[in-house]
A and B are shown apart, each in its own frame.
Chain A
């Protein structure tokens, strides 16, 4: 009886090991094969990518909006997300639904004063998400910070300052002329 149990247990262990190995290989290969896609590719080929695992890269912008144990974040993948000095492209990006604990890893969100963290997200793309009433989104299974953002230094523009002073003086003079000369 005990011999029978031992054989059964060994079989069970072996099966578990095989199952884990298969799952590991599948998961690894899925991530390995998950193509890095752009917003344009996703939007232009929704049927091709709908329900598939994709990898998406870009700059985190705006806010992290926490909803219980998940959060909404937004990633901008325009050319200026990778090269901030280059004004090209036209405001493209993707909404990401991720775990709150992953969202907490984010240090900087892109806005006027900050360059947001540059991240890589892997997850399932939904052309019209059932869970989120038709939103186009990616449900992230992995969020990796490639480059931490930083505060943007806006150098004070002295030339503009002097222009403002000169224009201000002219405007004030005209205001006085209008008030005391035209309306005498």
Chain B
């Protein structure tokens, strides 16, 4: 029997959710500053209203549900999933007030897409939005990529044992350092260091390719955040095709590929263990699966003779495979080109890449390379068992930061999450087909939403039925938090209502 939640449970959940919402309000200081610098007075008011709303809700929760007790696992999981909903609803205020959304639901869709680093959007007239709003869209991705809980742990939550529970609930399990607060700070150290490097490179290329210095600096900042966080939001409606630059595309490939690596791998390299990159199971798995996806896509494109020459094939075919595999979602083609020019075979290659996704404990989504590697190793182990004498003990090992012997717990954990992802993709696809979209298109965008990628073949648009928008919001949320914390929230609510 599951115990019914008591007042201390609700107090802890509300108190810590309040802290996280307060943190979201603080994040709005960044676009607010941009609005003031560029004298965008109405957007500045939108952000002031949004920020004060976050502060009021956040502080009220902290005052009325003040708590000093530490968190248990159930509370940690519920806080994370619940605070993501609150952060979405309140973070959408500046979006909605900008006047670029057909409804508040559309604004919430973009918020969830930003936090989950998906990159799908319903914002209309993107090319006329303020610098402040564009900054907010990209800050959302950057913050969501590291994890809004990680932000709260870094700046707002003092060292508690419960901090680890919230951290795990956000889809990150690995401790880079013994202390979880230090781990959160290490993640920020890595991300901010890459921000300095990536921003400089992208700005230089943008100016070199003909942009004005101010616009180049802003675009460098925005695109870096979209790339590093594997978010996929771009500042213009033409997405990455806006720049018409091979160099710019190469720079983004490097940034989002590195961004899709496990933070534990980053930390290992950061602390001098450079060989890890060649031995890590996730990198091996990534190389194998990207090859499969690339071959499938290339065969599809070459069969239909879509692109003239290898460079074009690289800039369009490879770019979308790697953008999909790292679950970034940057595009150098128009959405409908997938359907009208690429054909189903090439789309399948990209869909495979999106479904698998990149590394665990990173900014990326999808099944994750670690799980694919573990399941593959388990398959090999079973085949070896069948081929060996019955008395033989077959031990399969894998390397992820350190060597580990494969056991039932690893396989069960990986399989459960992969099955959950498949169900989530299927759910989004079925809903799309129900609303009349062709199966291939519904599947492509459904996988894109569920794996937090952001590539679209044209299904996602403001004209989508509202129910479908809600379903996409849910699958994006499920995919980013990797199910368990959301299942716990649902269970928590059921138990709270039913009593056991």
A134 contacts B56, C-beta separation under 8 Å: no
Are B59 and A178 within 8 A (Cβ)?
yes
Q: Does A123 contact B (CB under 8 A)?
A: no
Do A160 and B124 touch (CB < 8 A)?
no
Contact at B309–A135, with CB atoms within 8 Å? no
* A164: B residues at CB distance < 8 A: 45, 48-49, 52
Please pick, from A44, A62, A134, A178, the residue contacting B63 in the complex, using a CB distance under 8 A: A178
Whether A174 lies near B241 (C-beta < 8 A) is: no
Closest B-chain residue to A65, C-beta based? B210
**In the complex, B66 has a CB within 8 A of chain A:** yes
Q: Which of B42, B316, B336 contacts A157 (CB 8 A)?
A: B42
Q: B175 within 8 Å of A by Cβ?
A: no
Instruction: Please indicate the chain A residues that have their CB under 8 angstroms from the CB of B237 in the complex.
Output: 61, 76, 91-93
- Is residue B246 within 8 Å, beta carbon to beta carbon, of the partner chain? yes
A87 in contact with B124 given A112-B129, A112-B131, A128-B312 (CB within 8 Å): yes
Please tell me if B62 contacts chain A, counting CB pairs below 8 Å. yes
Our count of residue pairs bridging A and B at CB distance below 8 angstroms stands at: 161
- Tell me the smallest distance from the CB of A138 to a CB of chain B, in Å: 13
CB proximity of B479 to chain A, nearest CB, Å: 24
Identify which of residues 7-59 in chain B touch chain A, using a CB-to-CB cut-off of 8 Å: 40-43, 45-46, 48-49, 52-53, 55-56, 59
Give the docked Cα–Cα distance between A71 and B209 (Å). 10
Contact with A along B421-462 (1 / 0, CB 8 A): 000000000000000000000000000000000000000011
Cross-chain contact A170 with B307 (CB below 8 angstroms) = no
CB of B124 within 8 A of CB of A134, answer no
Distance to closest chain B CB from A86 (angstroms): 10
A66: Cβ under 8 A from any B Cβ = yes
Q: How large is the interface on B (under 10, 10 to 19, 20 to 34, 35 or more residues)?
A: 35 or more
Complex Cα spacing A156 to B238, Å? 30
Contact residue range for chain A?
A: 35 or more
Q: How far is the CA of A157 from the CA of B126 in the complex (A)?
A: 21
Q: By the criterion CB–CB under 8 Å, are A177 and B341 in contact?
A: no
Stretch of B94-102, B138-146, B407-415 contacting A (4+ beta carbons < 8 Å):
B94-102
Whether a CB of chain A sits under 8 angstroms from the CB of B311 is: yes
Main secondary structure, interface of A, reads mixed
A12 → chain B, closest Cβ, in Å? 40
Question: Which listed residue, A63, A87, A92, A182, touches B210 by the CB 8 Å rule?
Answer: A63
- Once A62-B242, A72-B244, A133-B315 are accepted as A-B contacts, the answer to whether A167 and B340 lie under 8 Å apart by CB is no
Determine if A74 is an interface residue (Cβ-Cβ < 8 Å).
yes
Give the distance in Å from the alpha carbon of A132 to the alpha carbon of B215 in the complex: 23
Q: Which of B52-102 contact A (CB under 8 A)?
A: 52-53, 55-56, 59-60, 62-63, 66, 97, 99-100, 102
Query: A157, A161, A174, A177 — which one has the most chain B CB atoms within 10 A of its CB?
Result: A174
Q: Which residues of A contact B246 (CB under 8 A)?
A: 133
The answer on a CB contact under 8 Å between A43 and B127 is: no
Question: Which residues of chain B come closer than 8 Å to A62, judged between CB atoms?
Answer: 127, 236, 238, 242
Task: Decide yes or no whether A154 CB sits under 8 A from chain B.
Answer: yes
* A31 contacts across to B, CB distance below 8 A: none
Q: Using Cβ atoms and an 8 Å threshold, which residues of chain B touch A170?
A: 52, 56
In the assembly, what is the distance between CA of A100 and CA of B282, in Å? 48
Chain A residues near B49 (CB-CB < 8 A): 160, 163-164, 167
In the docked arrangement, what's the CA distance between A87 and B306, Å? 34
> Is B466 among interface residues, defined by CB-CB distance under 8 A?
no
Q: A171 near B52 (CB under 8 angstroms)?
A: yes
Residues from 24 to 42 in A contacting B, C-beta threshold 8 Å: 39
A67 within 8 A of B: yes
| Interchain CB contact under 8 A, B63 and A177 | yes
Q: How far is the CA of A72 from the CA of B238 in the complex (A)?
A: 12
Q: Does A95 contact B (CB under 8 A)?
A: yes
Q: Which A residues are in CB contact (< 8 Å) with B160?
A: none
A67 to B245: give the CA distance in the assembly, Å: 11
User: Would B236 and A74 count as touching, CB distance under 8 A?
Assistant: yes
Residue B389 is within 8 A (CB to CB) of chain A in the complex = no
Answer yes or no: B130 CB below 8 A from chain A CBs: yes
CB neighbours of B129 from chain A (8 A):
112
**How distant is the Cα of A73 from the Cα of B336 in the complex, in angstroms?**
21
Could you list 19 examples of A-B contacts with CB < 8 Å? A67-B244, A74-B242, A87-B99, A91-B126, A111-B128, A112-B129, A128-B312, A133-B311, A133-B315, A134-B307, A134-B309, A160-B49, A161-B45, A167-B49, A171-B55, A174-B55, A175-B55, A175-B59, A177-B59
Q: Residues of B with Cβ closer than 8 Å to A?
A: 40-43, 45-46, 48-49, 52-53, 55-56, 59-60, 62-63, 66, 97, 99-100, 102, 123-131, 209-212, 215, 236-238, 241-244, 246, 306-309, 311-313, 315-316, 332-334, 336-337, 340-341, 461-463
Given contacts A67-B244, A111-B127, A128-B308, 20 further A-B contacts (CB under 8 A): A43-B334, A62-B127, A71-B210, A74-B238, A76-B127, A87-B100, A89-B124, A91-B124, A91-B237, A93-B127, A95-B238, A132-B244, A133-B309, A134-B316, A164-B52, A167-B52, A171-B55, A174-B55, A178-B62, A182-B66
Interface residues of chain A, those whose CB is within 8 Å of chain B, are 39, 43-44, 46, 61-67, 71-72, 74, 76, 78, 80, 87-93, 95, 110-112, 127-128, 130, 132-136, 154, 156-157, 160-161, 163-164, 167-168, 170-171, 174-175, 177-178, 181-182
